Structure 1
């Protein structure tokens, strides 16, 4: 059975309470706080004008160094976790959406905010770190699985973008195989689709053979040559 056909129904058209709307708007606003752009202002740089032009951790590492990139990743993971936690903590009980559904909707809103940040001209990053942050709160079991898949692809290929896409695509499969509920399955499918979309440039460069590698991470290639 196709994965999409197996998704249980989830009523997004259910009545939205004012508190639910406020939580989703807050999640989007929190997600819009870009770690690389906030830290870049302190350094007097805009990394969207350097390297790949992406306001994410990988470009931060390549253009600004490890310490800067670590700060970016901490902020971007933290805001995903915060948005999900706030939604779970303050979701209205007895509303048409369950508390769990609030958490996943807020997490997706935070990822959307990271990709299209209202505070930074709607030009942000690709959403992976913020997605991981939300999963640490909502589905912590999935995080080590994604990290292992991501790391294995990087070691084998050296392509960070490819590793991120494959890890994201494994998320709905993980939800399906573990009989996850409707909010988790729909979130997994939507998040995977968004990550593929934000990495469309990486995939196009892979097809063209022009994608940049992290050569130092390509351990299998080194072992074979050794």
Structure 2
């Protein structure tokens, strides 16, 4: 049963919000902006409502993938089964079977999965992401730092090795999917949202 649910989680992850909505609108956002099929590029190229729809789908599939593990597998297999399905959904989002294995960067689907499998981590992850974004204005950097905050949290619970494996895998995957952002950041060419960099502007003054 776990193998079936892992496949289902991957296939759910493969349902990319921006690409599904893009088909309805007649656009492929992988040909626009940064070329990424995630929420940030959706916002930059298609506007707020398109981006909101993208995020809701991407978060929702993460929730559903882990919820299925929680409700269809024995309690003795929780939480490691939830972490496994969460990771499968994120991998599906990054390399979607339905969209030529070119998807997004995995952050939205991860947030949805955490809602079920590790809800206590949500406030830390979102807090780190928001603080970094308000200081730097860089979405990619903020997402990578938020991912690594999961790893720090997991280190405080060594009695849960599956959580540590999941956190390390997610942190490294987010670093990999944001490698182009990191390269542009080092080169000084990474675009940033100046409007949200409110704390950064305070420190500059």
Partner of 1:116: 95
Deviations 1:122-176 (A, max 9, x none): 0000000101100000111101111111011111111000000001011011111
1:189 and 2:168 aligned? yes
1:50 and 2:32 aligned? yes
Partner of 1:132: 111
CA distance in 2, matches of 1:104, 1:148: 21
The aligned runs of 1:89-100 (5 Å cut-off) are 89-92=71-74, 98-100=77-79
CA distance in 1, matches of 2:65, 2:58: 11
Does the CA contact (< 8 Å) of 1:57 and 1:73 recur in 2? yes
- Higher-Rg member (1/2): 1
Question: Where does structure 1 differ by over 2 angstroms across 4 or more consecutive aligned residues?
Answer: 220-226
CA distance in 2, matches of 1:143, 1:63: 28
Does the CA contact (< 8 Å) of 1:20 and 1:92 recur in 2? no
The aligned runs of 1:53-72 (5 Å cut-off) are 53-72=35-54
Partner of 2:180: 201
Unaligned runs of 5+ in 2: none
State the 1:225 CA deviation. 6.1
State the 1:223 CA deviation. 3.0
1:171 and 2:150 aligned? yes
SS at match of 1:122: coil
State the 1:177 CA deviation. 1.8
Unaligned runs of 5+ in 1: 1-18
SS at match of 1:141: helix
Deviations 1:37-65 (A, max 9, x none): 00111111100000000000000000001
CA distance in 2, matches of 1:145, 1:225: 26
Distance 1:93 1:219, change over 3 A: closer
SS at match of 1:24: helix
Does the CA contact (< 8 Å) of 1:155 and 1:220 recur in 2? yes
Aligned-residue RMSD, C-alpha: 1.3
* TM-score between both structures, scaled by the size of structure 2: 0.96
Aligned residues: 205
